[in-house]
Amino acid sequence: MIKMKELPYPLDALEPYYDRQTLDIHYNTLYKGYVDNTNKTQEKLSKAREKGNFENIKCLEKDLSFFGSGVILHELFFENMGPALPTSPSTSLMEQIIKDFGSYEKFKEQFTESSKVVEASGWNLLVWVPEFKKLEILQCEKHQNLTLWGCKPLLVLDMWEHSYFLQYKTKRPEYINAFWNIVNWNEVNRRFAIAIL
């Protein structure tokens, strides 16, 4: 059984950039749903093994990837946001950003533009790719499609409509611009330091 991770700040802590109602629904209803469904899927897999009945195995493996990835990405997302306080990339992360993107501004521009054009329901991610020893930006469809295997997500932005529609309606660029105010770089720096070990 997996359990919900606690939200590291109060529901209104990200206002005005990310409003209480959106975060409430996002955390308490949608994220909870992914946790519950991951647990249900794992139970079903356990029963299938007990009974030796793998009739629904294709569906169950897909569900595990979808719901489980939904859990992981939402936890990263909630943790890589925080109250609008001045945080910034660590020296080592900034050096890597400059090496791989040319400058912080170019990184931010690519991340923003890539977020804008995530198709339908998906995510935009800054990842560390150990195999390439390189930072990359990836789009992900749903929660689990399109990845570089083994990559370590460092900073993720939820581009599903449920993540912004209540507050920003169809204005995706405004939501993305607001996001930059509540990025918790301390958490991103922590993940980067572990990822490059």
Kindly list the residues in this chain that would bind Mn ion in the complex (CB under 5 A). 158, 160, 163
What is the C-alpha to C-alpha distance for residues 51 and 54, in angstroms, rounded to an integer? 8
Identify the burial level of 89 via C-beta atoms within 10 angstroms of its C-beta, where 0-12 means exposed, 13-18 middle and 19 or more buried: buried
Which residue is associated with the tokens 């997996």? 2
Are residues 183 and 155 in contact, defined by beta-carbon separation less than 8 angstroms? yes
- Report in angstroms how near the CB of residue 77 gets to Mn ion at its nearest: 7
C-alpha distances in Å from residue 102, one per residue of 89, 113, 126, 173: 15, 16, 15, 23
- Report in angstroms how near the CB of residue 114 gets to Mn ion at its nearest: 17
Rank residues 124 and 163 by Cβ distance to Mn ion and give the closer one.
Answer: 163
Of all helices (H) and strands (E), which one includes residue 157?
A: strand 152-158
What is the C-alpha to C-alpha distance for residues 116 and 126, in angstroms, rounded to an integer? 14
- Report in angstroms how near the CB of residue 148 gets to Mn ion at its nearest: 22
The tokens for 106 are 């170019």
- Report in angstroms how near the CB of residue 127 gets to Mn ion at its nearest: 18
Rank residues 85 and 117 by Cβ distance to Mn ion and give the closer one.
Answer: 117
Tell me the residue nearest to Mn ion as measured from the CB. Answer: 158
- Report in angstroms how near the CB of residue 66 gets to Mn ion at its nearest: 13
The contacts of residue 14 (CB under 8 Å, 6+ apart) are 23, 81, 82, 83, 84, 182
Rank residues 97 and 140 by Cβ distance to Mn ion and give the closer one.
Answer: 140
Strand 152-158's sheet: what is its strand order? 134-141, 122-129, 152-158
- Report in angstroms how near the CB of residue 19 gets to Mn ion at its nearest: 15
Rank residues 160 and 168 by Cβ distance to Mn ion and give the closer one.
Answer: 160
